[in-house]
Amino acid sequence: MKAVLLDAASLGDEIDLTPIRRLVDAFDVHSLTSPDQVQERLAGATVALTNKMVIDAETLAGLPDLELICVLATGTNNIDMAAAERRGIVVRNVEAYGTASVAQHTLMLMLALAARLPLYQEAVERGAWARSDIFCLLDHRTLQLAGKHLVIVGSGVLGTAVAKLGEAFSMRVTFAARPGNEANDARPALTTLLPAADVISLHCPLTEQTKGLIGTAALASMKADALLINCARGGIVDEMAALEALRGGRLGGLAVDTLPVEPPREGHALIDALAEPLNLIVTPHNAWITPEARQRVVELTADNLRNWLRG
């Protein structure tokens, strides 16, 4: 049985692929694959492994030997699921591999925004501390997390892990009702929580119900010093509206780990705005990348392959 990994570079060079390798007869590992190489490289393979490479209906039609697709991530939007089902190809993904990693990253962003770290770092770099009349700088009002209200959208394993960290800092944590299902959810709707929220942290999938969830109206209802963190998916926040609110003093801080298009080869307004004195952080979709989380992706993928082999 032959397996092919299309984009090993997305896991990093130091990750051990042995748990997968020992389950197959032949294992072709490609660091990167261009879209026009996918079908050629998967020819004759029984198992395809991919993180972000697209495997569409046209590609599947030319792969009569393919029986299993292992997605090395949670999202399966890069696979034509309907075409795979029609052809009897099983698709398996992995979940909860980066819970601790993403929760840790989220807390880091929260702490940095609360301390106004981007603003104070900029002040130090331009010599404001060296010129200060007193021993410290007091230019930007910081936020003590203890006693503050953390609102989380998304109550899965990630949101739950972030909630525990927030509680460890003595924050009051509330989960918002699932967007689009407020009528059947006992939890309060996000719209009712936003005016009293000190920190909003997003951990929900990008769906029709969550696209643009934090837009102009939502931002207008929030406290002027509220912090907004998106470690979910680009597009859940209207980035331009959030940037405008941040520049206008109507948002206390903004941190994102995701953008609508990744990598942002054409640039993005938030990246350009990093040059401005704003309480703004943009990280390159790396909340999940601790070595432990990446190795866990391999282990879970091996479990998926093993279970499939067992029928």
Q: Which residues are catalytic?
A: 233, 262, 285
What distances in angstroms separate CA 223 from CA 102, 199, 264, one per listed residue?
A: 26, 10, 30
Q: What letters, b where the CB count within 10 A reaches 16 and e where it falls short, cover 250-275?
A: bbbbbbbbbbeeeeeeeebebeebee
DSSP-based helix, strand, coil % in the chain, nearest 5: 35, 15, 50
SS3 168: helix
Q: How many angstroms separate the CA atoms of 216 and 170, rounded?
A: 30
- Which residues are CB-neighbours of 252 under 8 A, at least 6 positions away? 113, 143, 223, 224, 225, 226, 227, 279
Cβ–Cβ < 8 Å for 264, 271: yes
Biggest distance spanned by C-alpha atoms of the chain: 74
d(CA 25, CA 86): 27
Closest CA to 204 of 242, 183, 175, 239: 175
Are the C-beta atoms of residues 297 and 11 closer than 8 Å to each other? Answer: yes
